[in-house]
Amino acid sequence: MTLTDMFAAFSFYFIPILIGSGLKLLPRVIKSHKYSERDFGESVFFLGSSFILGALALFVGAISIDYFYEGDFIKIYSNLIFILLGLAILTIFLYVLRNKINFNINKLGLSFLVVILALITYSTWRADARTNTTLNWDLYHHQVLANKIKRGEFEIVTSNMSDTFQYDGYSTIFHLLLATPKILFKTDILNYWWFLEFFHLSTTIAISYAVAYFFTNNKHVGVFGMFFGAFIFESTGAYTSLFLIPQNLAATIGALFISYYVFKKDINKHQILRVDLVIISFIVYILLNHLIIGTFCIVFLMAVKVYLTIKSRFNIVKTDAVLAILAVIATIIILLLISRIDLNWINRGEAAFYNFDLATKFKFLHNFYGISLYIFLPLGLFYILRERESKKIILLLFTFAAFALLLGQIPYTFKLYSVGRYFTNAFLALGVWVLIKGQKEGISILNTIMLGFMLFIIFILNTVGFKQTPSYKELATHISENEIKAAEFLKKNYSNNSNVMLVSDPSTMQILEPLAEVNTPGGAYATTDTREVLNKIYLTRENDSITNNLFLIKDLVETTKPTKILLAVSKRLEIWENLSDERKYGIFYNVWAPADLDLQDLAGFGFTDFLTNYTRFNTVFANDTITIFEVSRLEPIF
Amino acid sequence: MWKNKLFWMELTFIFAIVFILISYKLPQGKVMYKKTGRYVIGTYDYGLFISQASNDYFYNVSPLDFYIKNGYSISDKKNYLLAQNNNYNKTNSLPKIEQLYYSIASYFSLTQPFALFDSLNENVKLTSSTKDDVVRFTLISPNKNLSDKNIFMTMSFNENDLIIDNNGYMYTKINEYEKAGLKNLYDIEIRDINDISQTILSIDRSAEFIVIINKNMPGLIKISNTDNAYKLGNIDKEKMLISIAVQNSEQPFFEINFQERLQ
């Protein structure tokens, strides 16, 4: 079972890459092509661009099936996957037959290093979070959409599929990719995600190498970049390396593409960025994957184009210095303008919670990097200013822009840093290299180990801080064994039934909905109206009033009115009910960790006891963490 | 010349690595801790604490509260074992490199928290050791004279705790609803002890154990009498301390047991 989960997780990347590779190699099979040896970074880019093409092929296929075909979506979509995979394998086979592919020991060594670093980081990260636990809160609402797609309910727009998504920041391409392996393999959701995030981490490490290498054309810097990529974890806001969510996937691919295009442009030959199929597919994919991160990546890419165009066409004395100063001035002006606009209202006031003051931001940066930022960044800066090489100047400007954005008084800047972290890590890697270049091989290896050890210690301490919140018994998790049992019960008895709605505090709804496959009104993103009802039922404690109020709750997507409501009562609900109004009604706060019933509840003083003894709610499931009640609508529906 | 430069660069690099490590600010309260079951044992300014993740209730075991009793009555004068003023747990001011070590060892569950205090220029150590759901607190002192004294080790409790012995005697305030609830849950008949209004309550001599149940936390803590190591002493409601009379020994100790339910 676990092997299947692991292979299914691997397939999240493998299926699109295989299909995309077939598409990319097809012209080279038809027309004779000379195989050229690539660096590891370029191979990573090949896989990244293949992933994009494959993902787009699957998404276009799914849209076509949904639009043109009335029948069983899953059946046709499965056939499409098999056909595309078959054609891709045939193309790759023919390509390999026609080209002599050399074995490259360097690439193998670097691949091995990626795996080793990923294993060290992930086993440390998951030391107290085994396969049936989660540390990524967002996976639950993404899984809700993946479940729907797996059932054949495909839509392009997220808010049409579930009211957990009330803001369309991205299409369902990410969720289609999530669902694709689950359509082919029978998997356990939590195990699947556990392995999936390992593969996500591996890709971010490989791409960290590629970004550092592309900007500096130096394999040593690439390797140091890999270490920074593995051990620097943005434990607030971005969570780039360890959480697979649309913004992080988009940022990772975006950083790879931007750096590759910097690498590929030889400004001495007066070349400028050409708009080709690869770049068009990148732009389309990145916007579908995440609108805001995608837009930022495109802005970065355009900045590269503008910079290189000016640099190659106009022979201004000290062009780099002039451009750098202009870029810095432009960034400051834009930041000042944006900072004057009140953006705290975004996402029902959630934005205000993510609008940190400067001292807090520096504290977070210290958690991520320690003071390595203040030591290696100036060294990198000194080197770049001395060398004045265009690619490194671009890296400098990007890192500067990322930090300017991060430190600006704008909400969500730490989320946007998921792109910026790749540039910063490359910059830091360059700073390390400046300090230890020229040493003998043995000392270089020793230095690399020392660097890795230092970053590893920072990673552990950063992780300790992060795990203070999702902490339950000896585990770090958002979900407990008892909650999983409750979800299994619900799945067995109520799943995919449009007449039933599961209601509880937002956190319990968030974790149970994807695992139980029972609809909830918005999960952790429940509306203010729903939250008011939850508040009212806890305080009223009157039988009919509770029932009537519960049936007033509306799902924003599901049109069928439920005839039965399942009310999940747990310690989480009680904790939520006793929160301040700001936390209770704001979507920024959740009861992140599981909580078990205490003496008050067990001895019969709690809400559970009241519902059991004084209402017509039927207990259908109970354990030491959660009790689930079932109640039917009082009046018939007309 | 070049070799000389390389040497200094290497030295700078090593210095930078060490400096980055020792300047890292550790997460608050995360220098030394051990998770066991639903509880966590950690260090604080005055000793060791027991708590649960995401709960604000603490049970403290502090050598600053330990005392030597003169005479036999519970109201007899107490001589505190350690100086009370300006005596702090030194584990929070250990060298940074040691703090880093303990924090990392704690993450991998490889450490048993301890607290260090000064007593007449000698180190007194309170150690904890866990085995399954049992935690042993041991007092280690270089002062051999301790073994001749009647030492009481203590553990604090909270306002909303219920403390009951195996005979059903309740040492803290309880209302009728709560009594009914406990009867319902554990089928035990709660009995009020005599002189509940007294500040210091002696634990019934026939009691085999007491349990501490927090109304707002799952699980409970059990302290049992043992034949030859320690005996339950008294409950000080003013200072919120449970005293345990430990056997004369060079390394006196007492144990607590974490349980989900009363067995």
3-state secondary structure chain B: CHHHHHHHHHHHHHHHHHHHHHCCCCCCCCCCEEEECCEEEEEECCEEEEEECCCCCCEEECCCCCEEECCCCCCCCEEECCCCCCCCCHHHHCCHHHHHHHHHHHHCCCCCCEEEEEECCEEEEEEEEEECCEEEEEEECCCHHHHHCCEEEEEECCCCEEEEECCCEECCCCCHHHHHHHHHHHCCCCEECCCCCCCEEECCCCCCEEEEEECCCCCEEEEECCCCCEEEEEEECCCCEEEEEECCCCCCEEEEEEECCCC
Quick check: A267 pLDDT over 60? no
Report the candidate in A56, A622, A620, A238 with the shortest Cα–Cα distance to residue A632.
A620
Give residues with Cβ within 8 angstroms of B15, minimum separation 6.
none
Spatial separation of the C-alpha atoms in residues A289 and A129, rounded to whole Å: 28
Q: Are residues A383 and A249 in the same domain?
A: yes
Structural domain boundaries, residue A617? 481-632
Note whether A457 contacts B17, CB cutoff 8 Å: no
Tell whether A473 is covered by a domain.
no
Q: What is the pLDDT of residues A141-195, one digit of tens each?
A: 999 999 999 999 999 999 999 988 888 889 999 999 999 999 999 999 999 999 9
Cα radius of gyration rounded to whole Å, chain B: 22
**pLDDT value for B147:** 61
Handedness of CA A305, A306, A311, A312 (dihedral sign): positive
Query: Is B1's Cβ below 8 Å from some Cβ in A?
Result: no
Mean pLDDT throughout A219-238? Answer: 95
Note whether A593 contacts B54, CB cutoff 8 Å: yes
Quick check: A387 pLDDT over 90? no
Tell whether A125 is covered by a domain.
yes
Q: Could you say which DSSP state residue A597 is in?
A: -
Query: Is A330's Cβ below 8 Å from some Cβ in B?
Result: no
Q: What is the pLDDT of residues A553-568, one digit of tens each?
A: 988 888 888 999 999 9
Amino acid at A195: F
Bridge partners, B163 (sequence order): B212
For residue B36, report the phi and psi dihedrals to the nearest 5 degrees.
-145, 115
Q: Which of A425, A442, A466 is the last residue of a domain?
A: A466
Minimal Cα–Cα distance from B32 to chain A, Å? Answer: 11
User: Residue A317 belongs to what H/E stretch?
Assistant: none
pLDDT category at A125 given cuts 50, 70, 90 is very high
**pLDDT value for A352:** 73
Using CB atoms within 10 A of its CB, is residue B8 exposed (0-12), middle (13-18) or buried (19+)? exposed
Tell me which of A577 and B228 has the higher pLDDT: A577
**pLDDT value for A489:** 97
Query: Is A473's Cβ below 8 Å from some Cβ in B?
Result: yes
Note whether B218 contacts A596, CB cutoff 8 Å: yes
Query: Is B84's Cβ below 8 Å from some Cβ in A?
Result: no
Quick check: A308 pLDDT over 60? yes
Tell me which of A101 and B34 has the higher pLDDT: B34
Quick check: A469 pLDDT over 50? yes
Give me the number of domains chain B comprises.
1
For chain A, the average pLDDT equals 89
Greatest mean pLDDT range, A105-114, A146-155, A401-410: A146-155
Note whether B10 contacts A443, CB cutoff 8 Å: yes
Q: Could you say which DSSP state residue A157 is in?
A: B
Note whether B26 contacts A436, CB cutoff 8 Å: no
B-chain CB neighbours of A598 within 8 Å are 214-218
Query: Is A603's Cβ below 8 Å from some Cβ in B?
Result: yes
Count of A-B CB contacts under 8 Å: 124
Q: Are residues A223 and A343 in the same domain?
A: yes
Of B6, B104, B219, the CB nearest to A457: B104
Q: Residues of chain A with pLDDT > 90: what percent?
A: 63
Tokens representing A383?
A: 């080197």
Quick check: A34 pLDDT over 70? no
In terms of CA atoms, which chain B residue is nearest residue A599? B215
Tokens representing A48?
A: 């990244």
> Among A262-276, A399-413, A538-552, where is mean pLDDT lowest?
A262-276
Residues of chain B with pLDDT under 50: none
For chain B, the average pLDDT equals 87
Give residues with Cβ within 8 angstroms of B39, minimum separation 6.
B50, B51, B52, B219, B258
Quick check: A228 pLDDT over 90? yes
Tell whether A30 is covered by a domain.
yes
In terms of CA atoms, which chain A residue is nearest residue B183? A603
Mean pLDDT throughout A414-436? Answer: 93
Q: Which of A439, A466, A493 is the last residue of a domain?
A: A466
Mean pLDDT throughout A73-100? Answer: 92
In terms of CA atoms, which chain B residue is nearest residue A605? B181
Mean pLDDT throughout A377-402? Answer: 86
Q: What is the pLDDT of residues A4-18, one digit of tens each?
A: 999 999 999 999 999
Tell whether A15 is covered by a domain.
yes
B-chain CB neighbours of A507 within 8 Å are none
Of B16, B36, B100, the CB nearest to A457: B100
Report the candidate in B195, B194, B189, B198 with the shortest Cα–Cα distance to residue B167.
B189
Q: Are residues A229 and A252 in the same domain?
A: yes
**pLDDT value for A558:** 83
Structural domain boundaries, residue B33? 2-259
| Cα A17–Cα A18–Cα A19 angle in degrees, nearest 5 | 95
Note whether A624 contacts B19, CB cutoff 8 Å: no
Tell me which of A468 and A101 has the higher pLDDT: A468
| Cα A540–Cα A543–Cα A548 angle in degrees, nearest 5 | 85
Mean pLDDT throughout A384-403? Answer: 84
Tokens representing B72?
A: 């036999």
**pLDDT value for A455:** 97
Tokens representing B261?
A: 């339910």
Spatial separation of the C-alpha atoms in residues A326 and A305, rounded to whole Å: 15
A-chain CB neighbours of B23 within 8 Å are 370-371
Mean pLDDT throughout A239-261? Answer: 95
Q: What is the pLDDT of residues A492-515, one digit of tens each?
A: 999 988 899 999 999 999 999 999
Quick check: A636 pLDDT over 90? no
B-chain CB neighbours of A603 within 8 Å are 178, 181-182, 184-185
**pLDDT value for A268:** 47
Q: Are residues A153 and A246 in the same domain?
A: yes
Spatial separation of the C-alpha atoms in residues A526 and A516, rounded to whole Å: 18
**pLDDT value for B11:** 93
Beta-carbon count within 10 A of A257 CB: 24
Query: Is A338's Cβ below 8 Å from some Cβ in B?
Result: no
Query: Is B104's Cβ below 8 Å from some Cβ in A?
Result: yes
Q: What is the pLDDT of residues A617-629, one digit of tens each?
A: 999 999 989 999 9
**Full DSSP string of A381-412:** HHHHHHH--HHHHHHHHHHHHHHHHHHSS-TT
A-chain CB neighbours of B16 within 8 Å are 375-376, 435
Q: Are residues A31 and A163 in the same domain?
A: yes
Spatial separation of the C-alpha atoms in residues B153 and A212, rounded to whole Å: 59
Q: Are residues A265 and A384 in the same domain?
A: yes
**pLDDT value for A349:** 66
A-chain CB neighbours of B107 within 8 Å are 127, 460, 463-464
Note whether B181 contacts A599, CB cutoff 8 Å: yes
Q: Are residues A272 and A418 in the same domain?
A: yes
Query: Is B214's Cβ below 8 Å from some Cβ in A?
Result: yes
**pLDDT value for A186:** 92
Q: Are residues A370 and A436 in the same domain?
A: yes
- By the 8 A CB rule, do A194 and A131 touch? yes
Tell whether A638 is covered by a domain.
no
Quick check: A637 pLDDT over 60? no
Minimal Cα–Cα distance from B100 to chain A, Å? Answer: 8
Q: Where are the alpha helices (DSSP H) in A265-389?
A: 277-289, 291-313, 319-340, 350-353, 358-369, 372-387
Give me the number of domains chain A comprises.
2
CA atoms within 13 A on the CB side of B36: 24
**pLDDT value for B174:** 86
Quick check: A275 pLDDT over 70? no
Tell whether A475 is covered by a domain.
no
Tell whether A472 is covered by a domain.
no
Beta-carbon count within 10 A of A176 CB: 23
